[in-house]
Structures are given as structure tokens and as C-alpha cells.
């Protein structure tokens, strides 16, 4: 994207970014000065602890819980854990004993502390070596097999609940033209305070995100990538109570994109705001290290709020997501900022409005792989009309140069997509991409035309809202229902009991390593 399509007010753009940075800073400070149980468990996962007890509770939870009870998490659990490890052959055996109540944890001092620190750094370092190796392998595979020949990349969802059923569906979808496969998660996983373990065959409206499911699907898609001659990217979700752990698992198992929104868990899952912001920062640092493209969730606001009235809240959220992501070390090329085609089709000139909003996002974030999300709110069950709407959605995506296009299903709001629904939807995408290839080149909305004016108007509203957020504080703005009309106070929501303010002697080798390498370390 070299020539700007819209004459946006440059001063306004600069002001928007300044305000976003100001609004984000107190939350960044909060994230840097707190830890959570999930950050600490992610550290154990990086150190190589896997497996679960007979009830399916992961050993990282059992071990972290035992330490939390004895020393708390405010010092970080790495020192107590790796100090105790001197009497055990490995972390798993330590976790077994700790779960049985047979381990006393303490904060070691002096030489013992130094030894524990060395053990912890070596173990966690091995986890980062795995992440770095996965990233290098991705780079090599993309170089060898190749990227999709076109933009936008075609993003398709599979969700059967059974990983062994998902695999052939994902492979079939890739062969039918999908460039990115997202395995949607089981409903409710975001509210589990642990990551299920192993390959799973039962889920509700989706498949559990587990390390083993990640590994199985990635291996299957590697096979398919070679067959179809393009590297098929794999997406999952780092939202919910376990963002840091899922990010670690994703990095080690070479996922390529992760849903990771700064506020989604707060607004749509009623997760405590502080828990979310702390978890989010760590998880994004891990994504940055792993070279994973994050996908943010602005589309969700428009499913609850009106897409015209609330258009500027999408822009505000994109700017905040950008700011938080940059701070966590994610470069522009890993910022899959989201937005959606959700204006009521009964609104006059709705398509022009969509084009204005989509171009605004495109131009505000020229180097970000924007994720363009299809209509869901105004899909009625009339599958014929739905297919037409999806066609217009595809057209808007091509005309405005979107980067990642989530394929809309005309059976949205009716059933989870059937094989034939996917085929028809992909046919729709292929037709529009082929018929309108290069159309963006010819599409230059005039200055002071409807589209340019609308885009500047939304940007102006976004700047106003950011100004109010700076005055009130982001946490208060969230509490007041600024985004997606959900009101979420900072002391409410799930997972607050897993948050602690870092003590002066807080030590976490993973956090140290990530903070020391703000641009993601290995290239």
C-alpha cells in the first residue's frame, strides 16, 4: 500500500496515536507491575512441564497452586519451584509430590537462590529454544513451499469438537482454497482456568485448544501445504483465562496466527480487566518471539453495538490494540487488527459506509495484515440473501485491500457450516477475487466525497472518544460500557483471585527474557 487512498487529516491521525499511547500507558504500567497464575504456569510450560493428573487437571496447575498456597505468586514461582527441584529428578515428579502435599516451598537465599535461578533459566531457555526453532522452521517452510499467490489470504474455520474429525476437514478446506485454517474452540474454554491436556474428541461448538491438538493439526497441515504448494497457516485462540499458557503452547507447536485481543475477554467473557491486561501483555510478548500474527477482535463490538453508530469504537480499539502490541514487541507485520462488515443492509448506502470504514482501517494501519470479518449480525437464515451479502463483503475486502479475509457462510445463524456451505462460500470468494483482481488500483474515492468524508468523520469521533478515555482512564471507560456496551468494573469479573502485585523481589526468567528482547529476539 504505497499511495494513500483517502485524504485523511494527518494531524488527526497523529493525535489519535498520541492519545492511544497516553490511554494505554497506565494499563501497561499495571501489566508490568503484576503477575497472574497463568503467567506463572506459562513459565512452567516453557520449562517443559506437561501432562495432567487423573482428573485432567494439568500438572502446571497442581504445582503452581501448591506454590501459590505457600509462598504466593507475588515473588514469581520460578525460584521456589526450581529450589525445590534440587531434590527431584524432574518437574513432573516434583509436581506429583507437590500435589500430594509433600513439598515445602520457600524462597531460597544467597547461593541456593543463585543455583535455583540457574536451573530455572536453563529450563525456561529450552522452551524459548523450541519457540525459536519453530519460528525458524516456519520461515524455512514458507521459503520452500511458498505463500498464497493472492491477497487477501482466505481464512476458514473448522469446528467439529473432535480433532481427528477436524484434521480431514481442514485438509479438505485447504485443498478447496483456504490459506488459513482456524480451529474454533469449544464454547466455554475461555473461562477454564487451565488448558486441557492431550488430543480431545469432545467439544461444544468447537474443539479444545491443547498443545497436542496444536501439534496434530500443524503436522497434518504441513503435509497438505506440500501437496497444495502453499504454506497453510494455522490459527487458534489465546483469549480467556489462559492467554499466556496458550501463547506458549502455540509458539512451541508452530501455530501461525492467534486470536489475541486486548479487551475481548473483559467485554465478552467477563474476565477481570487487570487479569486480562497482565495476561495479554505476556502472551503478546510470547507471540512476538514466536513470529505469530495476532488477530484482534474488533468485529465483536459490532455484533452487540450498532455498526454505524459504534464504528469509531472499532477504530479506538484498533489503535489501543496497536499500542499494546507495539509495547509488547509485536511489529506491524504481525498485527492482524480486526474489523467487520456488520452494517445493517437495510441502511441506505450501507455498502459505501462499509467501504469508508474498511478504507479507514486500511489506511490507518498500512503495514498491518488486517483481518476482515464477514457479516453475522444481519444474517437471517435466508441463505440466498446471505450469499449475496457475503459477495458484497468479499467485494469490499478486495476493493479496500484487506489482508486476511474470513470466509462468510450463508448459513451463519443457522447451522455450523456444512461441507457444501463451505464449498459455496469459497466459490463466492474465488469468483470475487478473480473477477475483481486488481480493482483496488482503480478505486480512488474522491476527496470530499461520501466515503472520504465518512472516514474522516469516524476518525474524528475516535479521537474524541480517545480524549475522553485519557481523561477518565481506560479501566473506567471499560467499567462505563464504552466498548460493545458491556459494563465491566476493574474489581469484577472472573480470574481476579489469580492476580498479584509483583513484590520487589519478583523474578520470572521468562518475563526477564521477554522484557530484555522487546522486538521478539530471534528473527
Partner 1 sequence: MSRIVRPYGDTTGDGMVQLSFTLPVPHDKRAEGAALQLAAKMGLDGAMLVHAKPIGESYTFFVVYGASTHLVNLDEVQVVERDYPHLSPKEVNDAVREKLGRKITVVGACIGTDAHTVGIDAILNIKGVAGEKGLEYYRELRVVNLGAQVAVPDLVNRAVDEGADAVLVSQVVTQKDAHLHNTREMSAAFREALPPGKRPLLVVGGPRFDEGAAADLGVDRIFSRGTMPSDVASYLVHRLVFTNRETAA
Cβ-based nearer residue to partner 1, 101 or 384: 384
- Distance between CA atoms of residues 399 and 433, nearest Å: 10
Query: Is residue 56 involved in binding partner 1 (CB under 8 A)?
Result: no
Q: Can residue 496 be called a binding residue for partner 1 (CB under 8 A)?
A: no
Separation in Å, CA 346 to CA 350, 351, 361: 7, 10, 23
**Phi-psi domain of 513 (left: phi exceeds 0; alpha: psi -120 through 50; beta: other):** alpha
Q: Which residue number, 327 or 421, has a Cβ lying nearer to partner 1?
A: 421
191 binds partner 1 (CB under 8 A): yes
Active site residue 155: no
Site for partner 1 in 108-127 (CB under 8 A): none
Q: For partner 1, which stretch binds (CB under 8 A), given 15-23, 169-177, 453-461, 501-509?
A: 169-177
Nearest-angstrom CA–CA distance, 362 and 355: 10
**Which member of 86, 100, 122, 204 binds partner 1 (CB under 8 A)?**
204
Q: How far apart are CA 353 and CA 311, in angstroms?
A: 10
**Residue closer to partner 1, measured from CB, 187 or 519:** 187
CB of 410 to partner 1, least distance (A): 11
User: CB 24 → partner 1: shortest distance, Å?
Assistant: 26
Minimal distance in Å, beta carbon 317 to partner 1?
18
CA distances 154 to 347, 382, 392, 402, 471, Å, are 28, 24, 16, 11, 40
| Whole-number Å distance between alpha carbons of 158 and 23 | 37
- Report the 3 state secondary structure along 133-183: HHHHHHHHHHHHHCCCCCCCEEEEEECCCCHHHHHHHHHHHHHCCCCEEEE
Judged by beta carbon, residue 113 or residue 424, the one nearer partner 1 is 424
C-alpha cell at 212: 497436542
Binding range to partner 1, per CB under 8 A, among 145-153, 181-189, 358-366, 436-444: 181-189
DSSP reduced 3-state for 373 = strand
**Residue 371 near residue 340 (C-beta atoms within 8 A):** no
Q: Which stretch binds partner 1 (CB under 8 A): 263-271, 283-291, 332-340, 503-511?
A: 263-271
Residue 366, H or E segment: none
Cα dihedral 481, 482, 486, 489 sign: negative
What are the φ/ψ torsions at residue 501 (nearest 5 degrees)? Answer: -75, 135
- Region binding partner 1 by CB under 8 A among candidate stretches 62-70, 188-196, 274-282, 353-361: 188-196
Q: Which three cell numbers stand for residue 56?
A: 485432567
Instruction: Answer for the pair 49, 59: CB distance below 8 angstroms, yes or no.
Output: yes
Structure-block grid coordinates of residue 481: 460500557
Q: How many helices (H) and strands (E) does the chain have?
A: 19, 11
Q: Which of 304, 388, 457, 460 binds partner 1 (CB under 8 A)?
A: 304
431 belongs to the binding site for partner 1 (CB under 8 A): no
175 binds partner 1 (CB under 8 A): yes
Among 208, 371, 377, 421, the one annotated catalytic: 371
Least Å from the CB of residue 261 to partner 1: 15
φ, ψ at 152 (rounded to 5°): -65, 155
Residue choice 123, 241, 305, 452 for contact with partner 1 (CB under 8 A): 305
- Distance of closest approach, residue 486 Cβ to partner 1, in angstroms: 9
Catalytic residue status for 501: no
CB of 499 to partner 1, least distance (A): 20
Site map 438..477 versus partner 1, x via CB under 8 A: ----------------------------------------
In the residue annotation, 193 being an active-site residue is answered as no
CA distance 349 to 516: 50
One symbol per residue from 395 to 414: x for binding partner 1 (CB under 8 A), - otherwise; what is it? ------------------x-
418 binds partner 1 (CB under 8 A): yes
Which one of residues 56, 366, 381, 489 is an interface residue with partner 1 (CB under 8 A)? 381
> What distance, in Å, lies between the first and last C-alpha atoms of the chain?
24
- Could you say which of 256, 299, 390, 421 is catalytic? 299
293 in Cβ contact with 259 (< 8 Å): no
**Which active-site residues does the annotation give?**
264, 299, 371
Q: Which residues bind partner 1 (CB under 8 A)?
A: 161, 172, 175-176, 186-188, 190-191, 204-205, 268-270, 303-305, 377, 381, 413, 416, 418-420, 423-424, 485
Amino acid at each position: 500500500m504505497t499511495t494513500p487512498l483517502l485524504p485523511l487529516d494527518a494531524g488527526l491521525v497523529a493525535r489519535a496515536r498520541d492519545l492511544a499511547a497516553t490511554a494505554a500507558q497506565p494499563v501497561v504500567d499495571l501489566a508490568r507491575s503484576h503477575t497472574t497464575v497463568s503467567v506463572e504456569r506459562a513459565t512452567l510450560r516453557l520449562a517443559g512441564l506437561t501432562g495432567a493428573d487423573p482428573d485432567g487437571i494439568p500438572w502446571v496447575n497442581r504445582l503452581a497452586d501448591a506454590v501459590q498456597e505457600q509462598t504466593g505468586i507475588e515473588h514469581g514461582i520460578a525460584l521456589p519451584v526450581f529450589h525445590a527441584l534440587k531434590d527431584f529428578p524432574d518437574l513432573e515428579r516434583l509436581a506429583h509430590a507437590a500435589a500430594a502435599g509433600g513439598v515445602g516451598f520457600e524462597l531460597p537465599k544467597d547461593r541456593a537462590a543463585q543455583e535455583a535461578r540457574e536451573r530455572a533459566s536453563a529450563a525456561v531457555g529450552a522452551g524459548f529454544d523450541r519457540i525459536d526453532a519453530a519460528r525458524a522452521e516456519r520461515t524455512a517452510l514458507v521459503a520452500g513451499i511458498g505463500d498464497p499467490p493472492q491477497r487477501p489470504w482466505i481464512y476458514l474455520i473448522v469446528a467439529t469438537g473432535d480433532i481427528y474429525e477436524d484434521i480431514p476437514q481442514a485438509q479438505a478446506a485447504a485443498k478447496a482454497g483456504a490459506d488459513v485454517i482456524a480451529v474454533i474452540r469449544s464454547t466455554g474454554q475461555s473461562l477454564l482456568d487451565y488448558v486441557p491436556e492431550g488430543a480431545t474428541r469432545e467439544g461444544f461448538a468447537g474443539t479444545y485448544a491443547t498443545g497436542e491438538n496444536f501439534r496434530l493439526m500443524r503436522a497434518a497441515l504441513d503435509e497438505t501445504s506440500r501437496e497444495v504448494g502453499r504454506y497453510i497457516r494455522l490459527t487458534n485462540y489465546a483469549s480467556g483465562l489462559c492467554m499466556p499458557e496458550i501463547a506458549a503452547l502455540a509458539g512451541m507447536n508452530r501455530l501461525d496466527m492467534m486470536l489475541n485481543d486486548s479487551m475481548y475477554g473483559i467485554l465478552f467473557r467477563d474476565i477481570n480487566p487487570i487479569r486480562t491486561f497482565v495476561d495479554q501483555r505476556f502472551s503478546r510478548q510470547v507471540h512476538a518471539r514466536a513470529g505469530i500474527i495476532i488477530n484482534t477482535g474488533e468485529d465483536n463490538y459490532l455484533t452487540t453495538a450498532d455498526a454505524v453508530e459504534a464504528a469509531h469504537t472499532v477504530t479506538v480499539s484498533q489503535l489501543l490494540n496497536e499500542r499494546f502490541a507495539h509495547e509488547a514487541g509485536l511489529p506491524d507485520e504481525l498485527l492482524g487488527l480486526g474489523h467487520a462488515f456488520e452494517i445493517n443492509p437495510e441502511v441506505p448506502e450501507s455498502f459505501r459506509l462499509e467501504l469508508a470504514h474498511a478504507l479507514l482501517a486500511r489506511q490507518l494501519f498500512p503495514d498491518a495484515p488486517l483481518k476482515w470479518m464477514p457479516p453475522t449480525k444481519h444474517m437471517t437464515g435466508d441463505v440466498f440473501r446471505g450469499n449475496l451479502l457475503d459477495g458484497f463483503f468479499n467485494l469490499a475486502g478486495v476493493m479496500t485491500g484487506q489482508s486476511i479475509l474470513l470466509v462468510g457462510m450463508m448459513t451463519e445463524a443457522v447451522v455450523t457450516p456444512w461441507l457444501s456451505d463451505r464449498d459455496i462460500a469459497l466459490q463466492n470468494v474465488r469468483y470475487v477475487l478473480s473477477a475483481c483482481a486488481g480493482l483496488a488500483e482503480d478505486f480512488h474515492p474522491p476527496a470530499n466525497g461520501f466515503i472520504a468524508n465518512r472516514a474522516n468523520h469516524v476518525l474524528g469521533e475516535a479521537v474524541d472518544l480517545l480524549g475522553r478515555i485519557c481523561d477518565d482512564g481506560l479501566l473506567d471507560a471499560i467499567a462505563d460500557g464504552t466498548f460493545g456496551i458491556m459494563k465491566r468494573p476493574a474489581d469484577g469479573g472472573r480470574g481476579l483471585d489469580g492476580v498479584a502485585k509483583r513484590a520487589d523481589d519478583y523474578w520470572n526468567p521468562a518475563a526477564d527474557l521477554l522484557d530484555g528482547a522487546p522486538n521478539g529476539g530471534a528473527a
